[in-house]
A and B are shown apart, each in its own frame.
Chain A
């Protein structure tokens, strides 16, 4: 129990004051000391500020919802405890690593032993392909090989053609094909009609525009003619005037 007098530097009492877990008498004693002691006041304020920062630490939101199942009282909580989440000792981890490594090495060695004598059964598919490619690129290709290859290809192509010709379509397929053909024809006719219509509209628009342009050109030419006529008349008047003036002078 803390006494009702406060000794400077009594951290326990300061903590009691900080958490407001002291008697009124103790609180009064500490408050009276804080008035005169800057060090204790600073200490108290610093502790309080630290407490405020602690409020920011929130645990992550977790899905809990545990329930006791009355049917099975031996393992009551529905969510089973996960033994594999328990930390594994270092020696156990090392042992597991050694076992895995040894097993891998043994398997690798066994595969090497089981490899065929012709050397065409390497360990992985990737090296198999590489080896095959290497083998084929190294072997000499003769003319006879090429001829045989050509003949084989020709026979395969001809077989494929014969097969496709021999395929007989069922009546349903014929009907479908017929319908498709009719639909294609109708579509083509529609497109042709549409094209003719569009062409006629285009020609009509073109003619109308040409007529408008011609009319505009004629009008412009007429205006130019008029202007030219006026200018000729003015020049003629000027010429007459000059001639009259020159005759008077004589």
Chain B
């Protein structure tokens, strides 16, 4: 039986810990991905993920269901990420870079993906990660919530506690900075040139640029 988040939340509030474990199973990956992309450290992202669920469990009796359970979780996770970033700013610690293991590469490689393609993808991923790390926190978070978690402008605005127009501005500015950074690092944004050169009036629709 596939229960909705709301049903599982209701059961959890009633004392059914297994229902909450079901919610954890559903949401731990997205929360971990959000935390990793915001703070950029695997181990710390795991800790943030764990703390998010711990806090959510303890605060569950106070959850009134005004927002979606997932939005509520995201908000908790983002607050924890913000705390982490604040601590980092106060007491910066030199972190060892997390390298790429050949065994990880081999395990990650898909059945039709050559090792060269995989290495290329990992390199591109590293460049994107680096480019994202130079963005101001608000822009980075807005892009992460939009691009990787598919939130609407309104949801991001609620999450970030800012007007809708600010969210759009953050997205625009963030994407622009990213584009420059990627181009500077040799990432060829081929489609820009290809599509721009073959541009025919009236053929540009959101579908061309939407993932």
Residues of A in contact with B (beta carbons under 8 Å apart): 11-12, 14-21, 27, 31, 34-36, 38, 41-42, 44-62, 64-70, 76-77, 79, 81-82, 85-90
Cα distance, A52 to B128, chains bound together (Å): 11
**Which A residues are CB-close (under 8 A) to B206?**
17-20, 27
Return the contact of B50 from the options A27, A60, A66 (Cβ within 8 A): A66
Q: Which residue of A lies closest to B210 (CB)?
A: A20
Q: Is the CB of B50 within 8 A of A12?
A: no
Q: Is the CB of A47 within 8 A of B209?
A: yes
Q: Is the CB of A46 within 8 A of B192?
A: yes
Q: Which residue of A lies closest to B42 (CB)?
A: A60
With contacts A46-B192, A54-B143, A77-B53 known, is A18 near B45, CB below 8 A?
A: no
- For B34-50 the 0/1 string (1 means CB < 8 A from A) is 00110000111111011
Cα distance, A68 to B54, chains bound together (Å): 8
With contacts A45-B209, A68-B21 known, is A59 near B33, CB below 8 A?
A: yes
Q: Is the CB of A45 within 8 A of B201?
A: no
Q: Is the CB of B179 within 8 A of A46?
A: yes
- For B121-144 the 0/1 string (1 means CB < 8 A from A) is 100110011001000000000010
Q: Is the CB of A11 within 8 A of B192?
A: no
Chain B contacts with A in 12-37, Cβ cutoff 8 A: 17, 20-21, 24, 28-29, 32-33, 36-37
Cα distance, A41 to B125, chains bound together (Å): 27
A124 shortest CB reach to chain B, Å? 32
Q: Is the CB of B201 within 8 A of A15?
A: no
Selecting from B1-9, B62-70, B71-79, B145-153, the interface stretch reads B145-153
Among the interface residues A20, A45, A77, which one has the most CB atoms of the partner chain B within 10 A?
A45
Q: Is the CB of A42 within 8 A of B196?
A: yes
Cα distance, A87 to B83, chains bound together (Å): 12
Residues of B in contact with A (beta carbons under 8 Å apart): 17, 20-21, 24, 28-29, 32-33, 36-37, 42-47, 49-51, 53-54, 57-58, 87-88, 90-93, 98, 104, 108, 121, 124-125, 128-129, 132, 143, 146-148, 152-153, 165, 168-169, 171-172, 175-176, 178-179, 182, 187, 189-192, 195-196, 199, 201-202, 204-206, 208-211
B161 shortest CB reach to chain A, Å? 18
A88 shortest CB reach to chain B, Å? 7
A156 shortest CB reach to chain B, Å? 57
**Which B residues are CB-close (under 8 A) to A89?**
90-91
Q: Is the CB of A85 within 8 A of B43?
A: yes
A207 shortest CB reach to chain B, Å? 67
**Which B residues are CB-close (under 8 A) to A82?**
47
Q: Is the CB of B201 within 8 A of A36?
A: yes
**Which B residues are CB-close (under 8 A) to A50?**
175, 178-179, 182, 189
